[in-house]
């Protein structure tokens, strides 16, 4: 099953227009529950454009995917489900970890189909200095993802039949800085933390075969933001 959520993206992050607040290691370092989140990504290449959006709160989420082929008609699919866990643990020593669990009931006439999944990530974090006129010290924070993993299980039961179970697992590791997100600190209080990151970038490649060179390119953009509350 395709992952529903994104913890880190190895793409160029740029500061958004959100107002900034200073934070500190003392304010950041806590066990947090995610009370709301929104994640959007758009990928465009010669074949068309795909936009994925996921929004949620402490208990539910909705994911929408819209694909528009070049010269064709857009198609949209939507999934919704339950959040079973959504937490961040940020430590003063510069490390962090997160866990997000979810479930979806995709049953229909003639069968039941239940998905459950858990996604984890961990890495390092630090503040960015005031390197330009738009941001002061401790108004931006970078989260480096060093490892991530996901497990999803689907249970399919035809009416009057026997249930079958399928489980998918995936894990990845990254070098420091390879998979990083720079967040603007929108709000930083003792028991509340709001973070936002905008993103943009391009990919290009070329291939030469039989004396002929072909090139391709793609672009991507998006946004992720979340509000954390202290456990």
CATH number at 32 reads 2.40.160
SS3 of 27, please? helix
pLDDT tens-digit readout, 178-203: 889 999 999 999 899 999 998 887 77
Question: What's the pLDDT at 201?
Answer: 79
218 belongs to a structural domain: yes
Out of 24-28, 72-76, 119-123, least confident range: 24-28
Question: What's the pLDDT at 3?
Answer: 47
- The CA radius of gyration of the chain, in Å to the nearest whole number, is 20
26 membership: H or E segment, kind and range: helix 25-28
162 belongs to a structural domain: yes
Question: What's the pLDDT at 206?
Answer: 73
Task: State pTM to two decimals.
Answer: 0.82
157 belongs to a structural domain: yes
Is 123 within 8 Å of 95 (Cβ atoms)?
yes
Number of residues that make up the chain? 231
Whole domain around residue 94: which residue ranges? 13-46+83-203+214-230
What CA–CA distances, in Å, run from 184 to 9, 14, 40, 128? 16, 9, 16, 10
Is 218 within 8 Å of 56 (Cβ atoms)?
no
Out of 18-27, 75-84, 204-213, least confident range: 204-213
- Is the per-residue pLDDT at 231 higher than 80? no
Distance between CA atoms of residues 91 and 97, nearest Å: 9
- Is the per-residue pLDDT at 25 higher than 80? yes
Q: Could you give the number of structural domains in the chain?
A: 1
Give the DSSP letter of residue 25.
Answer: H
- Is the per-residue pLDDT at 135 higher than 50? yes
53 belongs to a structural domain: no
152 belongs to a structural domain: yes
DSSP letter for each residue of 62-127: EEEEEEEETTS--EEEEEEEEEEEEEEEE-TTSEEEEEEEEEEE--BTTEEEEEEEEEEEEEEEEE
Question: What's the pLDDT at 132?
Answer: 64
Distance between CA atoms of residues 191 and 143, nearest Å: 20
2 belongs to a structural domain: no
Question: What's the pLDDT at 166?
Answer: 97
Question: What's the pLDDT at 19?
Answer: 63
Band (81; pLDDT cuts 50, 70, 90): very high
Span 211-229, average pLDDT: 86
Question: What's the pLDDT at 195?
Answer: 96
């Amino acid at each position: 099953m395709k992952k529903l959520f994104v913890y880190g993206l190895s793409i160029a992050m740029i500061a958004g227009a959100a107002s900034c607040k200073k934070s500190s290691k003392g304010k950041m370092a806590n066990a947090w529950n995610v009370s709301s989140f929104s994640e959007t990504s758009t990928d465009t290449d010669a074949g068309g454009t795909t936009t994925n959006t996921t929004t949620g709160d402490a208990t539910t989420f909705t994911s929408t995917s819209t694909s528009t082929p070049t010269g064709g008609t857009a198609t949209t699919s939507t999934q919704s489900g339950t959040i079973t866990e959504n937490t961040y643990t940020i430590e003063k020593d510069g490390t962090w970890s997160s866990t997000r669990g979810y479930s979806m009931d995709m049953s229909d006439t003639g069968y039941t189909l239940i998905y459950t999944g858990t996604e984890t990530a961990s890495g390092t974090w630090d503040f960015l200095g005031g390197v330009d006129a738009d941001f002061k010290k401790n108004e931006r924070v970078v989260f480096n993802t060093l490892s991530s993993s996901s497990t999803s299980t689907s249970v399919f039961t035809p009416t009057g039949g026997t249930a079958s179970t399928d489980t998918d697992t995936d894990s990845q590791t990254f070098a420091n800085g390879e998979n990083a997100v720079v967040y603007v600190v929108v709000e930083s209080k003792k028991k509340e933390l709001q973070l936002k990151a905008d993103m943009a970038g391009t990919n290009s490649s070329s291939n030469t075969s039989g004396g002929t060179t072909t090139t391709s390119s793609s672009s991507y953009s998006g946004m992720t933001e979340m509000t954390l509350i202290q456990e």
